[in-house]
Structure 1
């Protein structure tokens, strides 16, 4: 899922700030020793006592449990649901099979990316959208405006959303009494009334995302964590995992100032949809593609051990500014710094040597293919 892909400017512990929203399972995180911070208007667990490095590696090796209840689910129902979604997003919703999920984008008229979403079809006229936390209000307002021309109902759902990620995720869930082994990557099911589960995630690993009523969540969490292979994982490790996997974070790698072509996300728009148009932003995107993109999102591998963070200017060998870093950190699995950013198209080929300006010095880095670590999704 698009899973929390917003700017990782984690705040310090702000548990006393009454302006923050609180997770339904906050007490469980406190009992687990979580360190909290402000993120997208929520008080979120950033790390647990094991620390970011061990949490990251545990997810890659066994099973990491993430509380991503700050993200927003929307139910979309009605005879016009498919047509509505195909207008709101560059998506052929009518062609999406029942039980299938699709990564897609919410675009403005200028083809700027308002958000990236996962849309799942649950029935002939029933869909679920998973949206990012920091964009939820903006998304809802935009979607309701688009919905005015369609026979459709849009409802914001009150759910706890959990992600269990890693090679042991399926077996851990089976032992917890939830058998989702029939699912493959980007397929979904409603295993119980009021529940929604998809084989998806935001780490590059096999795994599941499960939405369920708040009163049912503590028991499932207890059953999962009774298995020693499953551990709570915080938002900081979630960020390093997604960065190694080359997955975008809205608010950093994506924004309303970036378009799908420059963001290297045209693969998310079916060819027939790109050709036929009909979605919001179609004409602007067609112009961008016809004129040719000026910059492109790329992976970046800095030399040495020092991470290059978001906001660093990228320059060429002559010191000319040709881009910017949008996400950066250290990759515990690959054991070297990893980053993503936008560079002028002429400098976007893999292996191109560039430099990041960091506190008055320059760090050499090469354009690197994405992802940095292979995806381990369970394909059908």
Structure 2
């Protein structure tokens, strides 16, 4: 299988071909959407045991220097300065209007901050972060590193057979050693880890992981259905520069201290939304029957347009179609009846609590 033309390749591209991965374009990269077992099998195996995902297309970087955390807080309402060493946190980068430029993960590694941003936005995020740095603080892009996600209830037990220290790591904890940075986190709603390591070691280590009991390769298709069941946002679908963390139901990502200081980009807008409410909210949506409703499907109530699906598909673990989208605030309560216009035909649905499948993090 040849690489797709004009696309970047991850350090695991040869391994994807060897494993029979079906490659598709994603965020400028040639990425495996599935392997011969298929998306359904990869999804269910990750829920039951462990799936190995290549997420090396994501952007990785370090912030080094005194004042790095305070500088990053100019762009995010997350509490960066209060994060303890060896811990990781989720945050959003905001524009001056309170719109989400990207969502990202940041970890306190003691003498530096370790950042992971979305592949489709790293060309925006990294220059933006650099633009707010004071003298003495440096942003170091880590283009020479790969990123693997080992996800599922059997993931950490399998990994601990070769890295015993990982067994004691708690959710959102970070371990560093042997050239690797490993966080107990992920994008599936399951327990698991994300492993940053030098690009030249990625293929060998991935093969080692695939040789562990219960581990199978999984592609973008299963990653998307897993995160949708878990109610997790995909940048460019569920959140973007036209959505705020309040509208997106990500208020929990705004630090308590930050709500007293209001010294981040878009703070005035966010404060107004928290005080007075917003006109629309991101909600879970459960279509009736078996037919999925995809992104951009119009949402109606009583014959009036009230919103749009942003992510939708079939949830293998819940054995039903699942979706997320934005609806007018007065229609956002759980159980509210909706009608989805799927290919011009009405499909009954209702607002459903998120996540569709329970999170099983190691808290």
Aligned to 1:141: 127
Structure 1 range deviating more: 265-274 or 97-106: 265-274
Number of aligned pairs? 362
Aligned to 1:319: 303
1:367 aligns with 2:351: yes
TM superposition shift of 1:279: 1.2
Aligned to 1:309: 294
SS in 2 for 1:87: coil
| Mapped partners of 2:260, 2:165: distance in 1 | 40
Aligned to 2:109: 122
**Alignment check: 8 A CA contact 1:14 1:43 kept:** no
Aligned to 1:281: 266
**Alignment check: 8 A CA contact 2:298 2:307 kept:** yes
Matches within 5 A, 1:55-66: 55-66=42-53
1:83 aligns with 2:67: no
**Alignment check: 8 A CA contact 1:81 1:150 kept:** no
Aligned to 2:87: 100
Matches within 5 A, 1:213-362: 213-316=198-301, 318-362=302-346
Aligned to 2:136: 151
| Mapped partners of 1:320, 1:35: distance in 2 | 41
**Alignment check: 8 A CA contact 1:176 1:223 kept:** no
Cα gap change, 1:150/1:326 in structure 2, threshold over 3 Å: closer, same or farther?
farther
| Mapped partners of 1:14, 1:312: distance in 2 | 35
Which of 23, 28, 40 lines up with 2:15 in the alignment? 28
TM superposition shift of 1:95: 1.1
Segments of 5+ residues of structure 1 without an aligned counterpart are: 1-12
| Mapped partners of 2:9, 2:106: distance in 1 | 26
1:50 aligns with 2:42: no
SS in 2 for 1:271: coil
TM superposition shift of 1:14: 8.5
Tell me the TM-score normalized by structure 2. Answer: 0.97
Runs of 4+ in 1 over 6 A off after TM superposition: none
CA RMSD of the aligned region, Å?
1.3
Cα gap change, 1:307/1:266 in structure 2, threshold over 3 Å: closer, same or farther?
same
TM superposition shift of 1:275: 2.3
Tell me the TM-score normalized by structure 1. Answer: 0.93
Segments of 5+ residues of structure 2 without an aligned counterpart are: none
**Alignment check: 8 A CA contact 1:84 1:150 kept:** no
